[in-house]
Structure 1
Amino acid sequence: MLKFVPKLGYFAAILLLLPERAYAMHIMEGYLPVGWAIFWWLLTIPFIILGLRSIKKTIEENPETKMILGLSGAFAFVLSALKIPSVTGSCSHPTGVGLGTVLFGPLAMSVIGSIVLLFQSLLLAHGGLTTLGANAFSMAVVGPFLVYFTYKAALKMGLSFSLAVFFAAFLGDLGTYVVTSLQLALAFPSEVGGFFASFSKFAGIFALTQIPLAISEGILTVIVMNFLKKYNFAELKSLRVLPRKEVAQ
């Protein structure tokens, strides 16, 4: 069961051992003014508290899902650690929050995503502790909620399970970077044009590399979800994430 989980662990370990210069689309350490750093922390903490309760409840009701919960964290860690250069001299990367959100909901993913970001800031110099609240709000709060509502809406519209997962992961990825653009624009409004000019600049730069990455993340998330549906159907059924027509078959 889940034979590829150890491979993800080996891959993550290799990433930790590879030396590299830390360019990141997470907001870097010390970049935000203190007031904004505190503001985003205050917005994020309530979701983490609720997420801890959600995870505790899920594990108590379905203890057999612990392995899949760990997989969701490894999936997010590995994907969000894969950075590719963008036109700005920085890097862009997938977020990996789609899988865990579809399986466990957005509140649980707020905890998983925050832990992933914490490890990346400490071990990979990817992001930072002072900006962890801002990065967690964009990737571990807003992203998962976009994934969740997109997935539910897609199923209600009659789309297939695979298409629902794809669009959810795709929009969750893009939504993360829209929020990151908003955060940077609020902290650093342009001298000419103010917030809106700054937001357009940041969002335009991010979109060039993030759209193809979002498509790739959507496809990969569908592949992993279909694998889980094939080999861990009972666990997914207990989590009540599959469409009713597929559960009834």
Structure 2
Amino acid sequence: MLFLALGIIVTIAPNAYAMHIAEGFLPPVWAGIYFVISIPFIVIGLKHIRKQTEKNGDLKMLLGLVAAYAFILSAMKIPSVTGSCSHPTGTGLSAIIFGPFISSVVGLVVLVFQALFLAHGGITTLGANTFSMGIVGPIVAYLLYTALKNKNKKVAVFTAACFGDLATYLVTSVQLALAFPSQTEGLMHSFIKFVSIFSITQIPLAIIEGIVTVILFEFITKYSSKELEILGGAR
């Protein structure tokens, strides 16, 4: 089913819009800054993956599942603002199960594949897109899940996925505002413009992502309880 979904996405993906922040859309200085910021998270995430998978090779299957989930969800785009689109992110699930650092690697891999094979996002904007979708979004999702999981796990998963998604677009709005401040009314005016337009499509998408993530998390809890017990964080 996952391969079928990927095939459908590749087949119907239009070229009129680019998902995430489009290739070449950011000035080189800003593009470089986000690469530098993102690198430490990726390095730590790779170390965490190596450590976890050495303990139990079955975790690779679960990691592949959450990566496929993020790929499929974040490939469902709705044109929103010039140079970007609204879409679910899917990285909240990996943050809940594996934590934020591994999620940064998941986000990076998803974004690379989408840039190369779907013409969504881009290589020059990979650092910026990884920072918003693969780093900040998962950190917010992880912190919310950790704070709420002992009270109501389903509410914790929904809240984490929903607000992790929204955090991604809040950061994207900041990134676009910093790169393209209004010449007459300043940075804040640009930020308000970007975040307001994003919110029209992103709020309902975030709610939908929260619901779908709860359903998938329940499935994983039922059939991968051993792996979750090894990881510890999502019990």
TM interval, short-chain normalised: over 0.9
Gaps of 5+ in 1: 1-6, 244-249
Q: Is the 8 A contact 1:9 1:74 kept in 2?
A: no
User: 1:132, 1:98 → 2: CA distance?
Assistant: 19
Correspondences of 1:171-190 after superposition (within 5 Å) = 171-190=163-182
Q: Which residue of 1 aligns with 2:198?
A: 206
User: 1:111, 1:90 → 2: CA distance?
Assistant: 22
* TM-score of the two chains, using structure 1 as the length reference: 0.90
1:231 to 216, 219, 223: 223
Correspondences of 1:56-75 after superposition (within 5 Å) = 56-75=50-69
Q: Is the 8 A contact 1:105 1:148 kept in 2?
A: yes
SS of equivalent residue, structure 1 residue 127: coil
- How many positions carry a matched residue from both structures? 235
User: 2:80, 2:171 → 1: CA distance?
Assistant: 18
SS of equivalent residue, structure 1 residue 91: strand
User: 1:147, 1:98 → 2: CA distance?
Assistant: 5
Q: Using a 3 Å threshold, how does the CA distance of structure 1 residues 145 and 19 change in structure 2: closer, same or farther?
A: closer
User: Which is worse superposed, 234-243 or 64-73?
Assistant: 234-243
Q: Is the 8 A contact 2:20 2:84 kept in 1?
A: no
Q: CA deviation at 1:241?
A: 2.7
User: Which is worse superposed, 229-238 or 142-151?
Assistant: 229-238
User: Which is worse superposed, 20-29 or 123-132?
Assistant: 20-29
Gaps of 5+ in 2: none
User: 1:162, 1:37 → 2: CA distance?
Assistant: 37
User: Which is worse superposed, 134-143 or 17-26?
Assistant: 17-26
> 1:163 is aligned with what amino acid?
V
Q: Which residue of 2 aligns with 1:47?
A: 41
1:161 to 142, 147, 153: 153
User: 2:16, 2:147 → 1: CA distance?
Assistant: 37
1:193 to 180, 185, 200: 185
Correspondences of 1:1-249 after superposition (within 5 Å) = 7-86=1-80, 91-155=85-149, 158-243=150-235
Deviations 1:76-119 (A, max 9, x none): 00000011244879631100001111111100010111010011
SS of equivalent residue, structure 2 residue 24: coil
Q: Is the 8 A contact 2:97 2:234 kept in 1?
A: no
Q: Is the 8 A contact 2:177 2:187 kept in 1?
A: yes
Q: CA deviation at 1:22?
A: 4.0
* TM-score of the two chains, using structure 2 as the length reference: 0.95
Percent of pairs with identical residues: 55
User: 2:97, 2:234 → 1: CA distance?
Assistant: 9
SS of equivalent residue, structure 2 residue 122: coil
Structure 1 ranges of 4+ moved more than 4 A: 87-90
Q: CA RMSD in A?
A: 1.5
SS of equivalent residue, structure 2 residue 58: helix
Q: Is the 8 A contact 1:184 1:202 kept in 2?
A: yes
User: 1:196, 1:140 → 2: CA distance?
Assistant: 25
Q: Is the 8 A contact 2:19 2:75 kept in 1?
A: no
